[in-house]
Amino acid sequence: MQFSELKCVEIKCAIYCRLSQEDRNKEHEIDDSVSIQNQKSMLISYAEANGWKVYKVYVDDDYTGADRSRPAFNELLQDAESKKFQIVLCKSQSRFTRELELVEKYLHDLFPLWGIRFIGLVDNADTENKGNKKSRQINGLVNEWYLEDLSENIKGVLTDRRKKGFHIGAFAVYGYQKDPEKKGHLIPDPEAAAVVHWIFEMYAGGMGKTSIARKLNEEGVPNPTAYKLLKGIRKNAPKNMRSSLWHYYVITDILANEVYIGHMVQGKYGSVSYKTHQNKPRPKEEWIRVLYTHAPIIEKELWDKVQNIRGERTKPGWNGEVGLFARKTRCMYCGYAMRSKKLADGRKYLRCSTHMMQKTVCVGGFISVKELEETILTELRKMVIEYLDMDAAEEQMILRDEQKEKIATLKKELKNYKNKLAGVDKTIKTLYLDRVQGVITPEEFSMLSDGFKADKRECEKRAEEVQQKIELLQAQKDEELSKREILEQCANIRELNYDIVNTLIEFIEVGKREGHYREYKVPVVIHWRF
């Protein structure tokens, strides 16, 4: 083939830009910040100077380097796996990620596997340069420490402000607004405060929470989220919060919130880790409660009356029973939790809470507790018979034997790797003694030990992979045995109770019967825990 016939291979480059701090440089919310514009300009110029074609510019504006849910970041990773480009170009490694775990996963493992080179322009991070891998790892570790320290510092500052009675949060509690004259201070929002007071008066007058919600819906009063959207306090809301309807649980939260008598109660939830946005409830004794921090909306006498009524209404019934399907049933059409209703003759029903609030919004799932219990028992018996069938049992036994054989083989492989690691460690120690005693030169020691250390790293990696496979197979085996044990215990169940339902079922979707009740069953979808 002549040289003139050779075609120049086009190198495609993906550019990733990120800004983590609050954006104060944008005239409009949809605009790019000045920092992002500068990053784009610098990186595009660098790509053009190297003759690389820019495949796409991925931008995450106002996201932290520890946020794994960054939309553009995840889109870039998907495109990288599809090998749509050969280079990922960032201003620095920390713009890509501040987590050491992700540095190792993508820069050092998956990117090379996908044939992708990573370049951090400012900090000279370049995966094509094998000599700066340790530098990249150190940068990753420093970034990780930075995130952890920053998280702890921010927590400390926020905790201190909460203890001083300052409000911490993006939005004020419904009924209040942020004081423009004093940061962290709340003042009543007259329009919303009037609704809050009305809710307390209705409850004190004998109305139930569902009746109050229905009354507010009939009067066209927007719920707290819808109110904030209408007033421009919020720009957006999650899809499941965009309804303007009131629900009984919103009324419950309002009636129990001490903010309405002038007390600030915060810190009810805490983050699981600085690496995730997930929060978990904190014990009540860890809540931060500061008295008399702002003007009350509800008088103390009305508050006490409402709390006394709530205490009476939340006492257990005559037998202290928890509902058989408590927190387990959802309407098949709107996804909201279903509420129980007991008739005078003792029959119990479950019905859609949205339909109860406003019939035109949702068709409304509806079923008797007795019919739902019979449906679940029927489905459970079918599953037990199918699973415990002799042919199926024999098949499961064969699968368990195969799992056992695989685990045994992997354990032998793991033992070999551990033996090899022990041998490498011993060899490196011997080399070190030889260097100390002058048997080999420092240069020879460095060259030889580097080779053995590389072998050791590779061996450790393989050993870890094998260990993970063993743990996965063992978990599958344990899960299978647990499932069989549970179903064997269920073989003779004739009646459900709360503990059985809670153990076996994740949640249940319930629809509405179409046609005559004797000819058609209510559609039910059971989401089992296994």
Residues 38-78 have pLDDT tens digits of 788 888 888 888 889 999 999 987 777 667 778 899 999 99
Copy the structure tokens of residue 65: 């380097």
Mean local confidence (pLDDT), 222-240: 77
Structural element, H or E, at residue 120 = strand 117-120
Each residue's pLDDT tens digit, 434-445? 777 777 888 877
Q: In Å, how far are 174, 213, 221, 236 from 196, measured between CA atoms?
A: 8, 12, 11, 23
Q: How far apart are CA 361 and CA 12, in angstroms?
A: 50
Least confident of 151-155, 263-267, 403-407: 151-155
Strand-pair category, 279-281 with 269-271: antiparallel
Q: What is the mean pLDDT of the chain?
A: 77
Say yes or no: do domains 10-160 and 164-313 share a fold: no
Sign for the pseudo-dihedral over CA of 54, 60, 65, 67: negative
Amino acid of residue 205: G
Each residue's pLDDT tens digit, 467-523? 888 777 766 665 565 556 666 666 667 777 766 777 778 889 999 887 665 667 889
Domain map (residue ranges) of the chain? 10-160, 164-313, 329-386+503-528, 393-490
> Closest by alpha carbon to 195, among 227, 233, 240?
227
Least confident of 110-124, 153-167, 235-249, 343-357: 235-249
DSSP 3-state percent helix, strand, coil across the chain (nearest 5): 50, 15, 35
pLDDT band at 153 (very low <50, low <70, confident <90, very high): low
Mean local confidence (pLDDT), 254-264: 92
Round the CA-based radius of gyration of the chain to a whole number and report it.
31
Strand-pair category, 264-266 with 288-290: antiparallel
Copy the structure tokens of residue 445: 């020691």
Mean local confidence (pLDDT), 124-133: 72
> What is the DSSP code (8-state) at residue 62?
S
Residues 281, 259 contacting (CB under 8 angstroms) = no
Residues 144, 99 contacting (CB under 8 angstroms) = yes
Main-chain dihedrals φ then ψ at residue 332, nearest 5 degrees: -70, -20
pLDDT band at 254 (very low <50, low <70, confident <90, very high): very high
Class of domain 164-313: alpha beta
Amino acid of residue 111: F
Q: Which fold has domain 10-160?
A: Rossmann fold (3.40.50)
Q: In Å, how far are 35, 81, 247 from 230, measured between CA atoms?
A: 32, 42, 19
Q: How far apart are CA 483 and CA 475, in angstroms?
A: 12
DSSP symbols for 294-353:
S--SS-HHHHHHHHHHHHHHTS--TT-PPPTTTTTEEETTT-PBEEEEE-TTS-EEEEEH
Amino acid of residue 400: R
Q: How far apart are CA 442 and CA 183, in angstroms?
A: 64
Q: How far apart are CA 385 and CA 100, in angstroms?
A: 49
Residues 504, 490 contacting (CB under 8 angstroms) = yes
Amino acid of residue 338: M
Q: What is the pTM of this model?
A: 0.41
Structural element, H or E, at residue 125 = strand 125-126
Q: How far apart are CA 5 and CA 193, in angstroms?
A: 79
